[in-house]
């Protein structure tokens, strides 16, 4: 990854922070975003990456994010669209405002930021875009109407971007993690060695983008081998 320029959204904790860490350890330059200043500062101090307070659901923040990448790194080689969260509710009890607000981050924010990054990558003549979907976007489940639909949308738009961007030597890789032991959904304190850690997803992503540029992994899921086993 030496010398490659990363932009990671939602890099202040969880999977995003693990990607920031892995990319920095491999010699990449990294700008990452998030909203919580304290978390941003912590990852900045730990990795030497540049943390930027920016909300992916806000257009002005996305414009500023791309500008900061241009100023600090001169471009973007790898965009990791990771920022996202879950709003869970059963049909019959869905708060439409909450579902739309979640789509503003998980889907529309991702599209808005990528819409601004793609011209940069086209001008460079290459780039990698990694979209974090979920196994919830591969199989529906109870309470998943809003979240599963948002991740299904991520898988769908990833296929559209592949069709549009492969002729520009831009790879679009869609990653569907199963359960990962992060603070996602307010769950804290999980530490079962048989379940996935954020670093497992980061390792998989770095493998995909380390492949020869002629090789594209369009989509892959990452499951724990035996998550039912007690720690
Ligand atoms: N954990 C899982 O089991 C799992 C499984 C499949 C897929 N995923 C997906 O993986 C991605 C990362 O999840 P995670 O497990 O690492 O969750 P996490 O620990 O809650 O971290 C989410 C990150 O996204 C940032 N974020 C959220 N909304 C944002 C916004 N509007 N603008 C900018 N940053 C924002 C958060 O920072 P701030 O709050 O400071 O903004 C945080 O850094 C998500 O897209 C999630 O849906 C997770």
CATH code, 90:
3.40.50.720
169 part of a folded domain? yes
Find the 167 Cα to ligand 1 centroid distance in Å. Answer: 31
66 part of a folded domain? yes
User: Which is the catalytic residue, given 85, 100, 147, 197?
Assistant: 147
Q: Is 179:195 a contact under the CB 8 Å cutoff? A: yes
230 part of a folded domain? no
210 part of a folded domain? yes
| Per-residue pLDDT, 48 | 98
Return d(Cα 181, Cα 160) in angstroms, integer: 30
| Per-residue pLDDT, 13 | 98
| Per-residue pLDDT, 1 | 82
The residue whose C-alpha atom lies closest to atom 25 belonging to ligand 1 is 10
> What's the domain count of the chain?
1
User: Which is the catalytic residue, given 85, 87, 100, 151?
Assistant: 151
229 part of a folded domain? no
119 part of a folded domain? yes
Q: Is 75:69 a contact under the CB 8 Å cutoff? A: yes
Q: Which two tokens stand for residue 199?
A: 């670093």
pTM: 0.98
101 part of a folded domain? yes
Three-state SS at 119: helix
228 part of a folded domain? no
Three-state SS at 89: strand
| Per-residue pLDDT, 230 | 81
Residues enclosing ligand 1, CB less than 6 A? 9-10, 12-16, 33-36, 39, 55-57, 82-85, 105, 132, 134, 177, 179-180, 182-184
Range of the domain at 128: 5-222
Q: Which two tokens stand for residue 206?
A: 């770095």
Which residues make beta-bridge pairs with 130?
80, 173
Task: Spell out, as residue ranges, where the chain has pLDDT lower than 50.
Answer: none
Strands annotated E in the chain: 5-8, 29-34, 50-53, 78-81, 127-132, 170-177, 219-222
Q: Is 197 a catalytic residue?
A: no
Q: Is 151 a catalytic residue?
A: yes
């Amino acid at each position: 990854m030496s010398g490659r320029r990363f932009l990671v959204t939602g890099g202040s904790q969880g999977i995003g922070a693990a990607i920031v860490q892995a990319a920095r350890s491999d010699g990449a330059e990294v700008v990452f975003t998030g909203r919580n200043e304290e978390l941003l500062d912590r990852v900045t101090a730990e990795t030497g990456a540049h943390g930027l307070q920016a909300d992916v659901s806000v257009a002005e923040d996305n414009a500023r994010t791309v500008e900061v990448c241009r100023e600090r790194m001169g471009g973007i080689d790898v965009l990791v669209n990771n920022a996202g969260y879950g709003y869970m509710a059963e049909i019959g009890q869905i708060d439409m405002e909450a579902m739309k607000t979640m789509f503003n981050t998980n889907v529309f924010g991702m599209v808005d930021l990528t819409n601004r990054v793609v011209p940069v990558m086209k001008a460079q003549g290459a780039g990698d875009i990694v979209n974090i979907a979920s196994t919830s976007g591969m199989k529906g489940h109870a309470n998943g109407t809003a979240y599963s639909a948002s991740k299904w949308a991520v898988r769908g738009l990833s296929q559209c971007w592949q069709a549009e961007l492969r002729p520009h030597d831009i790879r679009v890789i869609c990653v569907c993690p199963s359960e990962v032991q992060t603070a996602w959904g307010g769950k804290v304190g999980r530490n079962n060695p048989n379940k996935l850690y954020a670093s497992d997803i980061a390792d998989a992503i770095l493998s995909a983008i380390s492949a020869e540029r002629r090789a594209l992994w369009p989509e892959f899921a990452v499951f724990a081998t035996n998550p039912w086993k007690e720690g």
